[in-house]
Amino acid sequence: MAQSSGLTPRQKMINLMYIVLTAMLALNVSSDVLDGFTQVDEGLNRSNTNVAERNHALYKRLEQFAEQNPEKGKPWLEKATEVVEFTKTLSAHVDSLKYAVVRKADGRNGNPADIQHRDDLEASSAVLLNPATLEGQRLRHNIDSYRTFIVSLIADSLKQRTIEAALSTSNLDANGRPRLQTWEETNFEAKPVVAAVTLLSKLENDIRYAEGEALTALLSAVDAGDVRVNELNAFVIPRSRSVMRGSKYSANIVLAAVDTTQRPAIFIGGKQLPEGSDLYEFATGSTGTFDYSGYLEVAHGDGTTTQHPFQSSYTVFEPTATVSATMMNVLYAGIDNPLSISAPGVHSNQISATMTNGTLTRQGDKWIARPSAVGKDAVITVTANIDGTNQTMGTTTFRTRKLPDPTPFITYTDAQGNADRYRGGKPLSKAVLLSAPGIDAAIDDELLNIKFNVVSFQTVFFDQTGANIVENSNGAQFSERQKAQFRQLKRGKRFIITNVKASGPDGITRSISPLDVLVN
């Protein structure tokens, strides 16, 4: 398909008429030819007026947009102002040359609209080819600068070529061969005044055309960098989807515009999401609060791209369930009671807790409660920092009790080399008994595992007459007198470890139950 030159049919006809009339003039055609130039010049002047008005309307549109949106429109308005000012300066220069040529022929009162000596062949040369003033050369240089400036503002290569052709000052002929004459000599040497004026009017017309193309390109460029959208959606973006009673629910309600035909490229952590996808998901590993960031790369209509950064965070919680038996809410005074404190939907580092009747300390993700007074309830209050505000999550009341008494036992090593505890109720090898250093005491009833320190104990033996033989220990160790009695024991005999005193981690020394030992 043929490409359009960008010129209106009227402009094409005027250009053609000028070429025909110039050719006829070269054949010394009659004054009718001069009348034809006058008609062409009048048509050009009318066209120049219309084009100037159209260009002014384009400039006003840019001006109005810049007033409504200064940030976006002002840069383009500034470029448009440069175009208008440059055009005005060059057009005034061309117009002044028209008056200079006519007044050279008709005198000081000469008017291009009413030329008296239309066939004067010397006036145009005297004005534009004067070696003293070099007006023609100056006009050529100004046209070259104007052409370069206008073409730099237009991205369309076809329109660029059209403007370059219309405002060409090349001295090449139609076949591309260099002429001996310069552009100004070719156009203004020995030309009738009316032909020179018509040429200058045509030059003004080409200048106005170039101005209009530049303004149109700038007006189009205002929106060229915009992201096109074809779908509008409303989105609710909450700060958190889980809200505790009493805390604030916060959400941004926004209007999002998207182009469903061209999705932006999304990069997170230096890696791009699959093309066309905006879903970011992955399997979580360790618990805690994690940050991530990235950017969206958006393509614009003018071929450029922009990056729009974003950042967010997420919190990973350990799957937990808090189960409490209300009948077992007991803490033991004087010792460390391990506790686990959690609040669904709240990370552990956001939780704090206090306790009455004792102390409560954090050890990593665990807590240690140490009640002080027996028989007095200990109340634990849990708070959480949610959106910068401390909120009470709940309270739990614990009964405070003294540690139960431990049970005594003899620690020994079995045949496989494993440590074991003898608690009575079955025979104990005499060899094992003699190898044991003494007795121990502890609470190890599956709920508690607390070691006590044995302070002292007694052993009671029975002689043949049934009399009691009582021997004292050496602290928690068997004394030599007690070991001497062990050596005299016969198979099937028994003795009693009694009057055992033991001290627990609560600092209380207590008498505990005896241990009946049957010797095998």
Q: How far apart are CA 405 and CA 194, in angstroms?
A: 130
Domain membership flag for residue 196? yes
pLDDT band at 154 (very low <50, low <70, confident <90, very high): very high
Domain membership flag for residue 61? yes
β-bridge pairing 330-332 and 389-401 = parallel
Higher per-residue pLDDT: 90 or 324: 90
Domain count within the chain: 4
363, 467: one domain:
no
374, 344: one domain:
yes
C-beta separation of 55 from 215 below 8 A: yes
The pLDDT tens digits of the residues spanning 404-441 come to: 999 999 999 888 888 899 999 899 999 999 999 999 99
Question: Region 62-76: what's the mean pLDDT?
Answer: 87
338, 270: one domain:
no
Q: Which of 351, 375, 401 is the last residue of a domain?
A: 401
Q: How far apart are CA 72 and CA 223, in angstroms?
A: 9
The sign of the torsion formed by the CA atoms of 299, 305, 306, 308 equals positive
Phi, psi of 335 (to 5 degrees): -130, 170
333, 445: one domain:
no
Domain of 241, in residue numbers: 231-316
Domain membership flag for residue 3? no
Q: How far apart are CA 224 and CA 215, in angstroms?
A: 14
Checking if the pLDDT of 386 tops 60, the result is: yes
486: tokens are 């062990």
Question: Region 2-25: what's the mean pLDDT?
Answer: 58
432, 493: one domain:
yes
375, 278: one domain:
no
Domain membership flag for residue 299? yes
Phi/psi class of residue 497: alpha, beta or left (left: φ > 0; alpha: ψ in -120 to 50)? Answer: beta
- Percent of residues, the chain, with pLDDT higher than 90: 43
339, 197: one domain:
no
Q: Which of 461, 450, 454 is nearest to 500 (CA)?
A: 454
CA distances from 62 to 67, 70, 72, 223, 423 (A): 9, 11, 11, 12, 101
Give the model's pLDDT for residue 287. 73
Q: Which of 401, 420, 447 is the last residue of a domain?
A: 401
Q: Which of 294, 316, 338 is the last residue of a domain?
A: 316
DSSP 437-454: -B-EEEEESSS-EEEEEE
Give the model's pLDDT for residue 234. 73
Q: Which of 105, 152, 107 is nearest to 125 (CA)?
A: 105
Residue 189: Cβ within 10 Å count:
16
Checking if the pLDDT of 20 tops 90, the result is: no
Domain membership flag for residue 1? no
21, 118: one domain:
yes
CATH for 361: 2.60.40
Give the model's pLDDT for residue 480. 95
111, 184: one domain:
yes
The sign of the torsion formed by the CA atoms of 104, 109, 112, 116 equals negative
Question: Region 23-27: what's the mean pLDDT?
Answer: 51
Higher per-residue pLDDT: 436 or 345: 436
250, 113: one domain:
no
pLDDT band at 29 (very low <50, low <70, confident <90, very high): very low
- Lowest-pLDDT range of 34-48, 99-113, 310-324, 395-409: 310-324
Give the model's pLDDT for residue 36. 65
Q: Which of 9, 22, 48 is nearest to 202 (CA)?
A: 48
The pLDDT tens digits of the residues spanning 194-220 come to: 888 888 988 999 999 999 999 999 988
454, 346: one domain:
no
Higher per-residue pLDDT: 327 or 277: 277
129, 257: one domain:
no
In DSSP terms, which residues pair with 449 in a beta bridge? 444
Domain membership flag for residue 4? no
The pLDDT tens digits of the residues spanning 442-485 come to: 998 767 789 999 999 999 999 888 899 999 999 999 999 999 99
Give the model's pLDDT for residue 380. 94
Helix (H, G, I), strand (E, B) or coil at 421: strand
Checking if the pLDDT of 289 tops 70, the result is: yes
Higher per-residue pLDDT: 178 or 294: 294
Domain membership flag for residue 347? yes
Q: Which of 9-13, 343-347, 393-397 has the highest mean pLDDT?
A: 393-397
The pLDDT tens digits of the residues spanning 509-518 come to: 999 999 999 9
Domain membership flag for residue 128? yes
Q: Which of 256, 274, 216, 247 is nearest to 6 (CA)?
A: 216
Checking if the pLDDT of 233 tops 80, the result is: no
DSSP 218-282: HHHHTTTTSPP--EEEEEEEES-S---TTSPP-EEEEEEEE-TTSPPEEEETTEEPPTT------
